[in-house]
Each structure stands twice: as structure tokens, then as C-alpha cells.
Amino acid sequence: MRLLLVIILLWPASWLWGQPWVDTTYVIASQLDIPYGTAVDFGGQARLLDLDLSYPLDDVPPACGRPLLVMVHGGAFIAGDKADGTPRRIREDFAKRGYVTASVNYRLGQFHTAQDVHCNVSNLGVEWDCLNMTDSSEWYRAFFRGVQDVNGAIRYLVNRASDYNINPDNVFLVGESAGGFIALGAGFLDAEAEVLTELTDEKPAVNPPNARYEVNCVQRYGLGTSIADLTLARPALGSYAGENNLPLATPYRIRGVGNFYGAVFDNIFATMANDPPALYLYHQPSDLIVPYQGGKLFAGYAYCAAQPPFNCSYLINRPSVLGSRGIKDTLDNMAARGLVVPDYLFDGTTNNANCLQQLLDPALTGHAIDNYALRTHNLATFFATKIGACAVGITEAEGLVKKALIYPNPVTKGRDIWLLTSLERGDRIRLVGSDGRLQLDQVISTAGAGPYPLDLSHVTLTPGVYFLQLIRASGSESPQLLVAPN
């Protein structure tokens, strides 16, 4: 009889005292500037899209491949790069945790206004002039192009899953700031009906941006060689899926999305999917760029710039968005109405520093990660519980004993768990949680042929990954991972 079993690869013994997918354990290698496609940007120019890739060198990867994590940089949709500090660091650190990781570039740029809107507040740390767009739809269109490009980058990597040793069933997305918007869009936009088509359809051509923005914005951020070189038409943008790297060679599944101080333009979580990606949210109440709860982009920054001694007018044509705390409240309200919502972790702070306090003490900056080590550890721990195990078909009972130690795996609530091996007197079974806590320590008193029932009735297995050690009386060990799903 053909059985479908979950086979968990035997992991190195050193992992039994660490946390898989959480601790930065491995030596890694990287490949930089890998082209994954081309696309036309906001100004009608063809752009080469590329990514940086990292992966472990000294791990023993799962038989079905490593999980894939794609990191998306920030920069207000007009700036930023895949090799910037946080994107590069997250790419490298999650590769050290056992992932294949990629930080990706995507199309940047929006049409600046034809008005001469200017204020010199550069000492506040954020460009002011370059944030005045021709209308508020430009923000959404820039976000949408980023979603298309990230979807294309995922397909590029999944189509080469065997080359990079990727498991397409375990894809994760992370983004910061504008990259958080894009990661959320790529993770949760799963139907054309969720797209704000009134913003992505063809729109009237714009007037040329004011000459003030040519050097300081268009040229400075590489959006074009000059305003005169920009095509001012705004064609329809097409599907959220994008066009790069189609057809898709094999389906993939996004298991989790991590959002660092990004937001959404509307509720993209009202999906009919019964198993949406898990969601990690990090934000600070003092964020002056992306509202913590909700409101217009750059609301806090614009308010600060409008006060003495700067006395600026407000930034124009900014859209309203829903920040991470607003997303949390939305999901809670949906769940209260019985709707399907993502499993989420909200990782906020109590930092309420005002403009002056943030200017005087950069450590209080709200649009940043307050503690990189803590927040990425929390993200990695949360994602580790969402990594699906490998599924392999086995046709003979002999194959079960050779390849699998535990059945069923993942654990099925209320169902017996079996060790598919014989046991000798003095053999020892230990079960350790990913947090290092010992859940079970049992010494076998009577020898017997397998399969052997494992009594976990007194053990509460919360969702996550556990380490099961079968320590033979002879001294050998058979370590395996046991998965307790939601």
C-alpha cells in the first residue's frame, strides 16, 4: 500500500543544541548582481533587474531543498538598493540560518510634480523636494511595479530550484519601508479583484516635472538622465503577477511575509484563501515616515517641516495608508467577524519620540529597527514555525524504517505517534523544543520490535519544530525533526 509520509532529513548533532532556521550557524557564499529580468519603468526606460543571492556552504540541506527568503529594500519608491545595509545584512544572516536568500532590485521612480515645491529641510535627514509627486496615484503605481518585479524574481529562483537547492513550497518575503509595502503586496495580492485598477489602468500623460527636480531628484537617484528623456505617458500596468520568467516551472507557496515599518494602501487581507501566509509586523509609534496606525505618508515628517524654523508648506499628493498597527487592528476585527486572517506576530515598541527628540538623538528614530538582533531573531523564530516539511512517497515498509524515524510527521492532533524502528533496553528518547526546553526524557525499559508507540499524552506540543533524539544504549544517535503544525 502506498503511503504518503513526511520525511525529515537527519540533521547534524550540533543542531540539537541550537535552533534550526533561527541561529546564524553556517558559513555562506554569495553571488552578486544576477540578472533576473527587464521591465519598462515609470519614464518609459527599459531597466535591467538584478538580485544578490546567498546560501549556506556547510549545512546538510533538507532532501526537498532549503527555504527561500526574498528581501526587498526601502527608499520611498525612488531610491534604495539591494546591497544597502539592512537588505544585505538580512540576506546574509538568513543564509547563515539555512535559507537560500535573495535581496532584489526593482523598478524605481515616480513622476514629480510640475509645480515648484521646495523647502530646505535636509538636516532632518529626509529629502523633501523629491517627495512631491504629480498626483497620489504615482505612489500606488510605483508599489505595483515593485510587486510585479518581486513576483518575477521569485519565479526566476523557483524556476531554478534544482540549481539553487530551493524548496518552492517554502517561500518567505521580507521588506523594509517601501520594500515592506511591496513584500505585503507580493504576499497577499492573489486576485486581480484586489488591485486598485483605477490607479493601475492607463492614466492621462503628465506634465513634465519642474526643472527643480532634474538634478536633485531625477539625476541624483538615477531615475533618468534628464527630464527631457522621460516618456510622460502612463500606460496600463497589467497584472500584479508581472511578465518576467513566465511560464512558471513549478508552483510555489509563500509561507510568510515580514514587514518592517511598511504599510498597505487598502485591505488586501480580505482573501478567500483558507491558508494565507503568516505575517510578521514591526513598527514604532514614533515613525514620521510611514504612519504607525494610519494616515498620509510622511505625515509626521511633513508636520515637523511645517513648524518653525522651517515653516514649509505640506508635501503634496501623498496617499493615505494603513500602517502595521492599523493592519493588526484590521486583522483582529476581521477575525472577530469570523473571517479568515493570517496568523500574525505584531512586534512593536513604545517609542513615542517627537521630531526634535529624534533629531537630537538618532537612536530614537522611529523609521528604523530599534534592535536589529532582537527583531530579526523574533522574525526568524516566527518563520521557523511556518516552514513546511518535505513530503515523499514511500512504497515499502522497509523504506519507512530506513528513511523515517517518526510517523506521522507533522504530528496529527489526537493521533498516535510511532517510532519506526526497534528499541533495545536502555535506549533513550529525548524531545527538545526549538526554545531549548526539554519536553520528554524517556529511557526504554523493555526491548521490542518497531514500530514503537511514543506516548506524548502528557506533552503539550505548541505549533513549531521539535528535536527528537533516539540515543542508543550503544552510544549512537538518530536525531530528527518533529513538526507540530497549527
Q: Is residue 8 part of a domain?
A: no
Question: Mean pLDDT: which of 100-114, 119-133, 447-461, 466-480 is highest?
Answer: 100-114
Q: What is the per-residue pLDDT for 397?
A: 31
What residues contact 323, with CB distance under 8 A and at least 6 apart?
261, 263, 283, 287, 290, 291, 292, 293, 294, 295
Pinpoint the alpha helices (H) of 286-434.
299-306, 324-336, 355-360, 372-384, 397-403
Q: Same domain, yes or no, for 336 and 422?
A: no
Q: CA 45, 315, 118, 127: dihedral to nearest 10 degrees?
A: -60
Q: Same domain, yes or no, for 236 and 92?
A: yes
Q: Are 57 and 26 in contact (CB under 8 A)?
A: yes
pTM for this one?
A: 0.79
- One-character DSSP codes across 168-235: EEEEEEEEETHHHHHHHHHHH--SGGGS-HHHHS-BPPPPPPPTHHIIIIIITTTS-S-GGGS---B-
What would you measure as the largest C-alpha separation in the chain, in angstroms? 86
Number of other residues whose CB lies within 10 A of the CB of residue 222? 13
Q: Same domain, yes or no, for 375 and 446?
A: no
CATH of the domain at 471: 2.60.40
Half-sphere exposure of 175 (CA within 13 A, CB side): 31
Alpha-carbon gap, residue 250 to 263, rounded angstroms? 30
Residues in the chain: 486
**Number of domains the chain is built from:** 2
What residues contact 11, with CB distance under 8 A and at least 6 apart?
20, 60, 467, 479, 480, 481
Alpha-carbon gap, residue 13 to 469, rounded angstroms? 9
Q: Same domain, yes or no, for 279 and 418?
A: no
Q: Same domain, yes or no, for 218 and 323?
A: yes
Q: Same domain, yes or no, for 422 and 368?
A: no
Q: Is residue 10 part of a domain?
A: no
Residue located via cell numbers 526587498: 72
Q: Is residue 420 part of a domain?
A: yes
H/E element, 280: strand 278-283
The amino acid at residue 213 is Y
Among 384, 415, 438, give the residue marking a domain's end: 384
Q: What is the per-residue pLDDT for 430?
A: 80
H/E element, 154: helix 137-158
Half-sphere exposure of 278 (CA within 13 A, CB side): 23
Alpha-carbon gap, residue 169 to 290, rounded angstroms? 32
Q: Are 431 and 466 in contact (CB under 8 A)?
A: yes
Q: Same domain, yes or no, for 104 and 191?
A: yes
- Identify the three-state secondary structure at position 402: helix
The pLDDT tens digits for 60-97 are 888 899 999 999 999 999 999 999 999 999 999 999 99
Give, in order, the Cα–Cα distances in Å from 191 to each of 154, 166, 200, 273, 331. 17, 25, 14, 10, 19
Q: Same domain, yes or no, for 440 and 380?
A: no
Q: Same domain, yes or no, for 174 and 305?
A: yes
Q: Is residue 106 part of a domain?
A: yes
pLDDT-wise least confident of 189-193, 288-292, 397-401, 477-481 = 397-401
Half-sphere exposure of 132 (CA within 13 A, CB side): 20
Range of the domain at 192: 22-384
Task: Beginning with the edge strand found earlier in the chain, give each strand of the sheet holding 100-104 in spatial order.
Answer: 28-40, 46-56, 100-104, 66-72, 166-176, 254-260, 278-283, 344-348
Q: Same domain, yes or no, for 183 and 231?
A: yes
CATH of the domain at 300: 3.40.50.1820
The amino acid at residue 5 is L
pLDDT band per the 50, 70, 90 thresholds, residue 296: very high
Q: Is residue 115 part of a domain?
A: yes
Alpha-carbon gap, residue 129 to 135, rounded angstroms? 14
Give, in order, the Cα–Cα distances in Å from 300 to each of 134, 259, 290, 306. 21, 20, 8, 10
Question: Which 8-state DSSP code applies to residue 439?
Answer: E
Q: Are 325 and 333 in contact (CB under 8 A)?
A: no
Tell me: pLDDT of 104 over 70: yes
Percent above pLDDT 70 for the chain: 87
Residue located via cell numbers 550503544: 474
Q: Is residue 352 part of a domain?
A: yes
Tell me: pLDDT of 393 over 50: no
Q: Same domain, yes or no, for 456 and 349?
A: no
Q: Is residue 395 part of a domain?
A: no
Q: Is residue 399 part of a domain?
A: no
The pLDDT tens digits for 400-452 are 333 346 767 777 666 667 776 778 888 888 887 766 677 888 888 877 766 77
Residue located via cell numbers 543564509: 95
The pLDDT tens digits for 333-371 are 999 999 989 999 999 999 999 998 998 899 999 999 999
pLDDT band per the 50, 70, 90 thresholds, residue 13: very low
Q: Same domain, yes or no, for 429 and 379?
A: no
Pinpoint the alpha helices (H) of 281-396.
299-306, 324-336, 355-360, 372-384
Alpha-carbon gap, residue 399 to 380, rounded angstroms? 33
Specify burial of residue 350 (Cβ count, 10 A radius: 0-12, 13-18, 19+). Answer: exposed
